[in-house]
Chain A
Amino acid sequence: MLKLYGAELTSRLLLGTARYPSPAVLTDAVRAARAEVVTVSLRRESGGERSGQGFWSLIRALGVRVLPNTAGCHSVKEAVTTAHMAREVFATPWIKLEVIGEDDTLQPDVFGLTEAARILCAEGFEVFPYTTEDLVVAERLLAAGCRVLMPWGAPIGSGRGLNNLYGLTALRAHFPAVPLIIDAGLGVPSHAAQALELGFDAVLVNTAVAQATDPVAMAGAFAQAVAAGHAARLAGPIEPRNFAEPSTPVIGQAFLG
């Protein structure tokens, strides 16, 4: 059972809701992923538009928890204001806090992130910070009041998988009791399985599913990979070795030379 700010979840696959070919495909993908948490956002809407209202009706009909994000925010003030607006619309204290620091990699501005996290945690938000694998930043975020961390696998939408295995493994080892969710950069289900095998608690995937040729089938594939990776973690994987070790017993082997 995965526990995030007191919420008990069966699924370890969180799903983004952007970039699907249609609302119907999004709906089917959420079901195929067996996701219990989906990320959502806020955007401008003119008086004549209805797309936001339709989207929100669709999400509510799915009966899943929503994790609003502050995507696109580049400053502490923008992120904090967006969090307030999201809390009002989505009626949840959860906020996936993104403060973007660099446009080519969309990597977080960890200085702004920790400051915004401090403000929002003090105001009662339950903050899911989109961060890097940096141990010092992780310490600061926890000190700010975060009880979940979302380290990136790779830059958002890049599909590169776990870019810094050493750093992510160190993060996992350093904070064994903190729920860690790999957010961003996963491309294929094997990346998700690897994250769970390494002991990460969950993954958040969007582009890899939404932009697949068949998003619904890919959502199902990610669900299987996450389940397999978690089961493997619990089963205790062997340590890699530099040299071969015979799997067939050598005692009693015939001498036929």
Chain B
Amino acid sequence: MRILVNGVWRETESHDLAATLAELGYGGRIVTTAVNGEFVAADTRPRTALTEGDRIEVLAPMQGG
């Protein structure tokens, strides 16, 4: 399945957000997510199904002013 992760097209095999994050190397990391512009809380990632063409944002803490 082709999905857009942080602006980059990726080919993934998983079908839900939690598994996709693990597949992409985010396992155990402190990140927060949105799918198609909507916030997806961590505890709902396992039951958030992804479909072809979905836009995923994976954000982490960063310096800010």
Residues of A bordering B, CB below 8 Å: 16-20, 26, 39-49, 51-53, 55-56, 59, 68-69, 71, 77, 81, 84-86, 88-90, 156-157, 184, 204, 206-207
Closest to A96 in B: B64
Complex: chain A residue closest to B61, CB-CB: A56
Q: Which chain B residues have a beta carbon within 8 Å of chain A's beta carbons?
A: 6-8, 24-26, 29-34, 37-39, 41-42, 57-65
Q: How far in angstroms is the closest Cβ of chain B from A103?
A: 16
List the B residue with the shortest CB-CB distance to A17: B63
> Which residue of B7, B33, B34, B63 is within 8 Å of A18 (Cβ)?
B63
Query: A52 vs B26: C-alpha distance in the bound complex, in angstroms?
Result: 12
CB–CB B63/A40 < 8 A: yes
Nearest-Cβ distance from residue B28 to partner chain A, whole angstroms: 9
CB-nearest residue of chain B relative to A60? B61
List the B side residues contacting A204 at CB < 8 Å.
Answer: 65
> Are A69 and B64 in contact (CB-based, < 8 A)?
yes
Interface centre among A20, A48, A85, A86 (most CB of B within 10 A): A85
Q: CA–CA, A43 to B60, complex, Å?
A: 6
In the assembled complex, the CB of A199 is this many whole angstroms from the nearest CB of chain B, namely: 24
Nearest A-chain residue to B26, judged by Cβ = A47
Smallest CB-CB separation from A71: which chain B residue? B64
A-B contact pairs, 21 of them (CB 8 A): A17-B63, A17-B64, A42-B59, A42-B60, A42-B61, A44-B7, A45-B59, A45-B62, A47-B25, A48-B25, A53-B61, A55-B63, A71-B65, A81-B34, A81-B37, A81-B38, A85-B33, A85-B34, A86-B32, A156-B65, A184-B65
Min distance, Cβ A126 to any Cβ of chain B, angstroms: 17
> Nearest-CB distance from B32 to chain A (Å)?
4
Say yes or no: A44 contacts B65, CB within 8 Å: no
What distance in Å separates the Cβ of B58 from its nearest Cβ neighbour in chain A? Answer: 6
| B63 lies within 8 A of A19 (CB) | yes
